[in-house]
């Protein structure tokens, strides 16, 4: 096991998903997420700093899931449906049809199909 400043999706799983999502009809953002919930613990300067180094979103639970996966050497994927910008724009909690369920099922189906080969 190695120590890192970040916990991350396993590289082989990331590559598999990247290939699975090339022609996916919904926008997919892959990248680093910040592990501290910014609205509760972040300051304006820390939010600006993490944004400047390419952090895409806040997802504390994903960090825990990926730390577990690395510690136990298990293939784990976390999907996050990021829909808001800290309630800074009108309707930014809107997830779409079926509260995002339809999109989530399409995403999971594409990932499972890639996993199964």
Residues 110, 94: Cα–Cα separation, whole Å: 23
Total number of domains in the chain = 1
Residue numbers of the domain that contains 79: 11-25+61-116
Q: Is residue 75 part of a domain?
A: yes
Q: What is the pLDDT of residue 37?
A: 58
Q: What is the mean pLDDT of the chain?
A: 77
Q: Is residue 49 part of a domain?
A: no
Q: Is residue 32 part of a domain?
A: no
Q: Give this prediction's pTM.
A: 0.63
Paired tokens of 30: 């892959």
Q: Is residue 98 part of a domain?
A: yes
- Give the helix/strand (H/E) hosting 58: strand 57-58
Q: Is residue 31 part of a domain?
A: no
Residues 55, 19: Cα–Cα separation, whole Å: 22
Q: Is residue 40 part of a domain?
A: no
In the numeric block, the tokens 């895409």 are attached to 56
Mean pLDDT of 82-88: 60
Q: Is residue 33 part of a domain?
A: no
Q: What is the pLDDT of residue 1?
A: 44
Q: Which residue has the higher pLDDT, 3 or 111?
A: 111
Q: Is residue 52 part of a domain?
A: no
């Amino acid at each position: 096991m190695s120590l890192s400043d970040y916990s991350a999706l396993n590289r082989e799983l990331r590559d598999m998903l990247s290939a699975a999502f090339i022609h996916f009809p919904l926008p997919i953002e892959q990248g680093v997420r910040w592990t501290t919930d910014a609205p509760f613990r972040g300051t304006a300067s820390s939010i600006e700093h993490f944004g400047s180094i390419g952090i895409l979103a806040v997802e504390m639970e994903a960090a825990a899931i990926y730390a577990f996966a690395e510690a136990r050497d298990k293939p784990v994927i976390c999907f996050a449906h990021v829909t808001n910008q800290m309630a800074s724009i009108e309707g930014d909690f809107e997830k779409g049809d079926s509260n995002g369920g339809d999109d989530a099922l399409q995403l999971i189906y594409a990932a499972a199909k890639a996993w199964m080969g």
